[in-house]
């Protein structure tokens, strides 16, 4: 075990959120990097859930056209190692979208199997080592994966207006939804 260990901002935000909102949960930090950033247990330590955390910096104020800045709340880019995702032992991946417009981050809390399936459907099984994914949240509380939208700017405009439809790219069911993680913990 290394004598010094620091958590990154995303891990801190996730751990703090869980401890603040779920008093029955305990958050643990592994002593070495195994692809699991946080372990959450019940009060007695009998049931656990493992989490991989990814932290995103908001590119909305700097890299998004002005027409989209009003309807969008946060836009983050993530570079995911394809092999690490494929072999992940974590129960959930939590994407922390820390936006400049809101006073608190948004969290996309995705079961790892669902994440693998969605990203494979969106980006294919390309031999590339890295999957680049964009997660965007609208002011209407909708979350979309927007990397290489098939309709380009027209699809982006539909997202901004709240009329876009694409079941595979829709991540809203995991936006700020912690219940599945907590239910798994209480089994």
Q: Look at residue 1 and tell me whether its pLDDT is greater than 50.
A: no
CA 130 vs CA 43, 111, 119, 137: distances in Å: 37, 20, 11, 23
Q: Which whole number is the average pLDDT over 174-186?
A: 93
pLDDT of residue 4: 52
Per-residue pLDDT of 81-123, as tens digits, reads 999 999 999 999 999 999 888 878 999 999 999 999 999 999 9
pTM: 0.94
Sequence ranges of the domains in the chain: 9-185
Q: Is the dihedral of CA 65, 135, 72, 148 positive or negative?
A: positive
5: confidence class by pLDDT, cuts 50, 70, 90: low
**For tokens 């993530």, what's the residue?**
78
List, in order, residues 6 or more apart from 23 with CB less than 8 Å away: none
Burial class, 65, CB count within 10 angstroms (exposed 0-12 / middle 13-18 / buried 19+): exposed
Q: Which whole number is the average pLDDT over 134-163?
A: 96
Q: Report helix, strand or coil for 153.
A: helix
């Amino acid at each position: 075990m290394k004598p010094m260990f620091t958590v990154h901002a995303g891990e801190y935000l996730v751990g703090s959120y869980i401890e603040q909102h779920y008093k029955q949960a305990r958050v643990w930090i592994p002593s070495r990097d195994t692809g699991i950033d946080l372990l959450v247990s019940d009060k007695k330590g009998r049931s656990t859930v493992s989490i991989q955390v990814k932290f995103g910096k908001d590119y909305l104020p700097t890299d998004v056209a002005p027409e989209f800045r009003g309807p969008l709340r946060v836009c983050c880019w993530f570079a995911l190692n394809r092999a690490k995702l494929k072999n992940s032992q974590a129960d959930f991946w939590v994407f922390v979208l820390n936006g400049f417009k809101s006073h608190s981050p948004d969290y996309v809390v995705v079961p790892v199997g669902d994440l693998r399936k969605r990203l494979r459907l969106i980006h294919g099984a390309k031999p590339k080592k890295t999957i680049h994914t964009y997660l965007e949240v609208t002011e209407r509380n909708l979350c979309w994966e927007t990397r290489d939208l098939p309709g380009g700017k027209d699809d982006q405009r539909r997202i901004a207006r709240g009329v876009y439809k694409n079941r595979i790219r829709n991540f809203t069911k995991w936006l700020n939804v912690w219940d599945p993680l907590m239910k798994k913990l209480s089994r």
